[in-house]
Amino acid sequence: MSEWAADPSYETFVLNMGPQHPATHGALRVKLRMDGEYIVEAEPVLGYIHRMHEKMGENRTYLQFMPNTGRLDYLSALSYNHGYVSAVERAAGITVPERAEYLRVITVELNRISSHLLWVGAFVLDLGGFTPLLYAMDDREQILDLLERVTGSRLTYCYFRFGGLYNDVDDDFEAGARAIVKRMRDKLPMYHNLISKNIILRQRLEGVGPITGEMCRKYGATGPVARGSGIPYDVRRHEPYSVYPELDFDIPVYEQGDSMARYLVRMDEIEQSLRIIEQGLDKMPDGPVMAEKVPKIIKPPKGDYYFAVEAARGSFGVRLVSDGTNTPYRLKLRSPCFSNVSLFGEAARGMLLADAVAMFGSLDLVIPDIDR
Amino acid sequence: MSGYFKEIFDGGKSLLVGLGITFKQMIQPVVTERYPRTAPKMPPRYRGHIDLVRDEEGNNKCIACGMCQRNCPTGCITIKGEKPEGAKKKVLTFYRLDFTTCSLCGICVESCPTDALEFSKEYNLAGYSAGDFVFDLLKRCEERRR
C-alpha cells in the first residue's frame, strides 16, 4: 500500500464485487478498498458455495466418490475424473490397459478445448464483446455432442472407472474426433482475426494486470496463469502420467505476464491439444478398455498417495490417505483455481477497477473449484 | 508521428476484419436447433434417469438383490422385494427412484448382476414440485407393457 493510502485521514471506500456479479461467474465475493477508480486493497472472500467434497470423500467408498470429481471444476470434469481414478489406481496398484489410457487422454484433451473455448467466449463477454461467445459456443457444442455420444453426459462426466473406462467408444468416435480437429484447425485463424488482433481487446489486455513469475511461485499458481508469466510448468511434462510421454506436444509459454499473455497461452493450448488428439487417434491400439483383475471393493493398502494431473486451469492434485478400509481416511483435493485466485489480492493493488475485472477474467476461475 | 497514424490505421483495419467475419457468419446457415419445434434425438448412450429393462415377455429382470441401492452414492434408490410362496427367486415389489438427488453416475447400472437397469432417453423433465421427480420404476415398467 502506498504511503498516502496508509494515511487514516485519506478517504477510501469499500466496494463489494459479488457474490452475485456477472464477471465472477459464480458466487465469489471480492472486497475491494477503493480510492476513486483505483484499487487500494482487494480481498477475495471465499466459501459461498462450499460443499464439503473432501469430507464427503471420507464417508463414502472409493467408487461412490466418482460423481463428485466431475462437480469440482465442471468445465473440465474429465481431467478431474482422470486425477481421481489415477490416484486410486496408484494406491490400489491397478494397471490400466493402453487403449483405455489413450482414450482417457483424447477425451481429456477434447474437454480441455471445450473448456478453453467457453473461457474465451465468457472472457470477451466480460470485456463487452458479445459475438465471439456465440462462435465459441457453436464450436464447443460439437465437442460436447461427441463427448455425449461417448460418455452419455454433456458436462458433469463420470466416465472413467478404476482400471479403465465405463464403456468403449463407438465406431463413429474416431471420425468424429478427427472432424473436430479439422474443424478447429480451420476455425482458429478466425478466432485470431476476430479476437486476438482486435485493437480494442489488445488495448484492454496488453500490459494490464501483470503477474510476475515470483508471484506465481509464492501463491502456487499453475496452469495458463503461470505459463503466461514465464514459468514453463506443466504437469504433463514435468511429472508425466498416463501416455503423455509418448506424445509430442509443446508447452506454450509467454514471458509478458499480462492478461494478453494468459489469453495467448490458452489459444495456443487449443492448438497443442488438437495435436495430442490427432497423435492419440493414430497411436491408439485395439484391445480391452478395462483391466482384468479389478477388485469389486477397492481397499488400497495403508499409505499416503498423491497424484497430480494438468487440468484446464492448472495442476489438480489428489492426496489420498488410506487406512486399509473401503473408504479413504483423508482425501485432499488440491485445486488450481484456489491458488490462482489467491494472487488476485496482491496483483490487483493499484489497478483501475475496469482493468482488474479484465485481469480477473483472465485468471479463468471456476468458483465451485475454489470452494470445494 | 508516423507510428501514431500506423496504429490508427492498423486498429481500424482490425475492426473491419472483425466486421467482415461477423458479416460472413451472418449469411451462413443457422446452427441452432429450434428446440420445442424440433426435438433433438438423444444418442444411444445418453444418460437419462434409470429405468427397468423388460425382457421378451415384458417382465422386469430385477431379482431384488439390492446392489444398486447399496452402491448408490446418494442413496436415491429404494427397493423392496419378497419371495412368493413356493417360488425360488425373490420378486421385485417396489422400486422408487428419487431423481432429485441422482447424479447420473451409472454405478447402479454397472453394478446390476442381471442387467436389469438401463438409462432412459428422457430429457424433457420439468415439474412444479420435488415430488414430480420421484419415480416409481415398477409402475413405469408396467405402464410400458400396456
ipTM of the complex: 0.84
B104 CB near a chain A CB, below 8 Å? yes
The predicted-structure confidence for A316-362, as pLDDT tens digits, reads as follows 999 999 888 889 998 999 989 998 888 888 888 888 888 888 888 88
The predicted-structure confidence for B56-109, as pLDDT tens digits, reads as follows 777 778 888 888 888 888 888 888 888 888 777 888 888 888 888 888 888 888
The mean pLDDT value of chain A amounts to 87
Contact A323, A305 (CB under 8 A): no
pLDDT of residue A274: 92
Contacts of B107 in chain A (CB under 8 A): 63-64, 66
**A contact residues 209-268, partner B, Cβ 8 Å cutoff:** none
B101 CB near a chain A CB, below 8 Å? no
Contacts of B73 in chain A (CB under 8 A): 60, 64-68
Matching residue, cell 487440468: A311
Contacts of B71 in chain A (CB under 8 A): 63-64
B131 CB near a chain A CB, below 8 Å? no
Residue in chain B closest to A152 (alpha carbons) equals B46
Show the CA angle centred on residue A158, arms to residues A153 and A159, nearest 5°.
90
Q: Give the separation between CA A25 and CA A123, rounded to whole angstroms.
A: 10
What pTM does this model have? 0.89
Radius of gyration, alpha carbons of chain A: 21
Cβ–Cβ gap A65/B71 under 8 Å: no
Angle between helices A259-283 and A98-126 (to 10 degrees): 150
The predicted-structure confidence for A273-318, as pLDDT tens digits, reads as follows 999 999 999 988 888 888 888 888 888 889 899 999 999 888 999 9
Q: Give the separation between CA B45 and CA B109, rounded to whole angstroms.
A: 12
- Is the pLDDT at B129 greater than 80? The verdict is yes
Contacts for B16-24 with beta carbons within 8 Å, 24 or more apart?
B17/A193, B17/A194, B17/A197, B18/A193, B18/A194, B18/A198, B21/A190, B21/A193, B21/A194, B22/A131, B22/A194
- Is the pLDDT at A55 greater than 70? The verdict is yes
B10 CA: distance to closest CA in chain A (Å)? 8
- Is the pLDDT at A4 greater than 70? The verdict is no
Q: Give the separation between CA A68 and CA B107, rounded to whole angstroms.
A: 13
Task: Name the residue among A11, A10, A6, A51 with its Cα closest to residue A27.
Answer: A51
Q: Which of A67, A150, A190 sits opposite B21 (nearest CB)?
A: A190
Matching residue, cell 473491419: B16
Q: Give the separation between CA A105 and CA A114, rounded to whole angstroms.
A: 14
